[in-house]
Amino acid sequence: MATVMGKVALVTGGGTGIGEAAAIALAAAGAQVAITGRRKERLDAVVAAIEAAGGKALAIQSDVSKELDAFAAVEQTVSALGRIDIVINSAGVNEAGGIQSLDLDGWRKVIDINLWGTIYTCKAAIPQLKAAGGGDIINISSTAGRRAAGLFASYATSKHGVNGFTESIRQELGGDNIRVSVVEPGATETEIASSISDPKWSEMIQSHVSKDGAMQASDIAEAILFIVSLPRRANVSQILIRPTTDTAPM
């Protein structure tokens, strides 16, 4: 097995949920970690936890939906930590409604963060991964990237886009020793419901992701560690992770 000891990881959405768990797991395995997000106090708390455990981390307040922010976060990471070897695109939001019931600002919010944020961060980081001699990009999608839901159409659209984008750049970057993977979690207990503006649907999603048998963010972090710890010749291009109790056909 390879190791992440001494590597540098950039994790978007690193202040909460899967991003937070991934940052903590990578740091515990020996990586230096830069985490980005919009809420500085949440980022600082994660950095404090990592440093208390003996790791090294950097908090970068950044909005991935803004191209300049995404590029600046990559620049700050390299300036402070010297390189980038691993990129985890975990920043994400959800919103309720379909094409008739959700206004276009709601659609833009979800697609700008979930899809464009992933694209911006990859575009900015790829030259740094090449300079490091290769590396890993892991994009966090969802089971919604395989099955659409009319009541959460913007989210499903964004995650289908993440899946397609990930496979496209996987084919493009393999020759540069850059492995690209997508992780598609099912119900995982995070704060994703807090981004939904309609209280009724926010409550419904929160109930869904915190139901008995739902996965924890740390479960997804373990899958991320597995991906980056494999020998360089092996690229796990796609992992679909679902609660054991999930019996849906897709």
How far, in Å, CA of 243 to CA of 231, rounded?
Answer: 28
pLDDT of residue 54: 96
Whether 84 contacts 129, CB under 8 Å: yes
**What is the percent of the chain with per-residue pLDDT over 70, rounded to a whole number?**
98
Whether 147 contacts 156, CB under 8 Å: yes
Per-residue model confidence as pLDDT tens digits over 185-232: 999 988 888 888 888 888 888 888 888 889 999 999 999 999 999 999
Residue ranges of E strands in 145-225 = 178-185, 188-189, 215-216
Residue type, 118: T
- At residue 1, the 3 state secondary structure works out as coil
Q: Which two tokens stand for residue 153?
A: 């159409």
Per-residue model confidence as pLDDT tens digits over 9-53: 999 999 999 999 999 999 999 999 999 999 999 999 999 999 999
Whether 176 contacts 137, CB under 8 Å: no
Residue type, 35: I
For residue 247, pLDDT over 80 is answered with no
The residue from 155, 214, 215, 221 that is catalytic is 155
Whether 12 contacts 240, CB under 8 Å: no
Per-residue model confidence as pLDDT tens digits over 88-147: 999 999 999 999 999 999 999 999 999 999 999 999 999 999 999 999 999 999 999 999
pLDDT of residue 249: 58
Q: Is the dihedral of CA 127, 128, 131, 137 positive or negative?
A: negative
Top-level class of domain 8-241: alpha beta
The domain locations on the chain are 8-241
How far, in Å, CA of 188 to CA of 123, rounded?
Answer: 28
pLDDT of residue 250: 56
On average, the pLDDT of the chain sits at 94
- Is residue 155 annotated as part of the catalytic site, yes or no? yes
pLDDT of residue 210: 86
